[in-house]
Amino acid sequence: MQQNGKKIITVGVTGASGAVLAQKMLGLLDSDARVERIHLVVTETGLRLFAEELAIPSSSAHQLVQRILGHPSQKIEVISNKDVGASIASGSYAVDAMAVIPCSVGTLAKIAAGTCDDLIARSADVMLKEARKLVLCVRDTPFSRIHLENMLRAQQAGAVIMPAIPSFYHHPKTIDDLVVQYVCRVLAQMELPQDVMFRWPGSATAKEAKA
């Protein structure tokens, strides 16, 4: 955390389905007064998924943020995934929390194996070695034994495994309702709870039974 009490966050975006999850997270982080800086790293396939799923073409860093958010950002710094010498590749640079959203099973494998061969893998490795919060929003289905073992390995090293699985207990009406609730759960893990998150008040059936 910064001296002013504000947070520094890293967001890694990989080539798994669910670019909209990254878009929603970046929007919420950008408008969050508790957040000072957001380091955004997008893999080559992550860029392809922004194009495939959200019709956001690959472009300069400045244009990418503008296209993802619909407006420019003072907080979001895009860093190349090849730049393993960036600030976030060092434990001496105090990132408060990192999410990989969505996280492909390929990047999961790199993180579980500690390869550190690109900036997302290296930054995630740094979060684990420094015992800082790392949330992996793994997306694929079904999972193979390799995926499951990699998730276990990453979890045992300190990562939070939050597969991109929607919830329905808040009666979502739109895809945005599903996306918001999921992303808010991820942000709550990163100690950035959001007012828009639905909190389960206890089931009506159970309350009726008690009365």
Ligand X SMILES: Cc1cc2nc3c(=O)[nH]c(=O)nc-3n(C[C@H](O)[C@H](O)[C@H](O)COP(=O)(O)O)c2cc1C
What does the binding site for ligand X look like in residue numbers (CB under 6 A)? 14-17, 43, 45-46, 48-49, 52, 104-107, 139-140
Residues whose CB falls within 8 Å of the CB of residue 82, separated by 6 or more in sequence, listed in order: 118, 119
Nearer to ligand X, 94 or 146 (CB): 146
**Smallest gap from residue 70 Cβ to ligand X (A):** 23
CB of residue 47 to ligand X, shortest distance in Å: 9
The two structure tokens encoding residue 43: 């893999």
Question: Least separation, in Å, of the C-beta of 46 and ligand X?
Answer: 5
Query: C-beta of 130: minimal distance to ligand X in Å?
Result: 22
Residue nearest to ligand X (CB): 15
Residue 40 · residue 76 · CB < 8 Å:
yes
CB-wise, 8 or 21, nearer to ligand X?
Answer: 21
The answer to whether 48 touches 78, Cβ cutoff 8 Å, is no
DSSP state of 142: S
Residue 197 carries which side chain, given as an amino acid letter?
M
Q: Which is nearer to ligand X, 38 or 49 (CB)?
A: 49
Alpha-helical segments (H) within 16-144: 19-30, 44-54, 61-69, 105-113, 119-129
Residue 43 or 181: the one with the smaller Cβ distance to ligand X is 43
